Structure 1
Amino acid sequence: MPRIAATAPPKPVPDMQAVLSAQAALGAKPIETLTPAQARLQPTPADGVAQVLKAKGLPTAPDNSVTTQDLAYGTDPMRVARIYKPAMASTAPRPVVVYYHGGGWVIADLKTYDATPRYLAKTLNAIVVSVEYRHAPEAKFPAQHEDAANS
């Protein structure tokens, strides 16, 4: 069998490297060295993006052409669905997109992943529902999937 030569992992593109460098400068540690509780408290890629934008003199405030509203669901007050709506008035029906943020069901939250549903609402002229769910390991499987189904 022929041997496949090992190759170095690809390097991030310059814009992403700037975000990763800014996040590291804020004190972020490698995620694999942290407990879930520690990982939730450290600077996020969203914090890195904010630092890069600030350094370039660009605005860091959320795009105000999209409005948001948080609605609790279930019995746990920490479970919230954030509704994103394009600010432009429309009487026409809009599509609805349900968005579950990243973080492997363990870390991250609605704040960390605010930009994506906001962008989707604006560019698709859609209502986007971003769902916060209970996190592992505190909430055991299938709690996250139940939250997704019941939101």
Structure 2
Amino acid sequence: MQKVLDALKSLGVKPIEKLSPEEARKQPTPADAVKKVLKEQGKSTEPDPGVTVKDMSIPGPHGDIPIHVFTPEGNGPFPVMLYYHGGGFVIADTKTYEASPRALAKGAKAIMVSVDYHQAPEHKFPAAADDVNRPGFCRGSIV
């Protein structure tokens, strides 16, 4: 972890509390730091095989919600889990956190649905909470 933190610092990351949401979204992420460390160690930064990804969208209370469905190799049926990325409903996105639902799908043999909820400040509270607290979220044609 120290190598990742050092790599993040070397990428010129500024404290997010000193940045606007737009500035914070543009700066390097911990995922960028991990990729830098892997490259320095001569390791691949390609996604781990064994999982397919399908990009979709579903209707939401504030407009369509992009989702990314990670499906492990093998024959189902598989359980389905929802994954909401970090970032305090303001920064980051599903691409920043893609390694987590991918690894969970493969390791748990579960379908992971990663959600690009509506973020503040463009979408005022409670937009993100409305997106993620939908009854029956997994009903329909997600999987």
Question: Greater CA deviation, 67-76 or 27-36?
Answer: 67-76
- Other structure's SS at 2:28 match: coil
CA shift for structure 1 position 108: 0.5
For 2:9, the equivalent position in structure 1 comes to: 24
Aligned pairs for 1:1-151 (under 5 A) are 16-74=1-59, 76=63, 79-86=65-72, 88-90=73-75, 92-150=76-134
1:11-58, Cα deviation, whole Å (9 max, x unpaired) = xxxxx2211211121221111111111000000000000000000001
- Other structure's SS at 1:82 match: strand
Distance 1:142 1:33 in 2: 24
Distance 2:117 2:68 in 1: 11
RMSD: 1.4
Counting aligned pairs with the same residue, the percent is 52
Using the size of structure 2 for normalisation, the TM-score is 0.87
- In structure 2, list runs of 5 or more residues that go unmatched: 138-143
- In structure 1, list runs of 5 or more residues that go unmatched: 1-15
For 2:140, the equivalent position in structure 1 comes to: none
Structure 1 residue ranges (4+ consecutive) displaced by more than 2 angstroms after TM superposition: 74-77
Question: Greater CA deviation, 16-25 or 130-139?
Answer: 16-25
CA shift for structure 1 position 149: 3.0
For 1:81, the aligned partner's letter is I
Using the size of structure 1 for normalisation, the TM-score is 0.83
Distance 1:97 1:74 in 2: 19
The size of the alignment, in residue pairs, is 133
Larger Rg: 1
For 1:10, the equivalent position in structure 2 comes to: none
Distance 2:74 2:101 in 1: 19
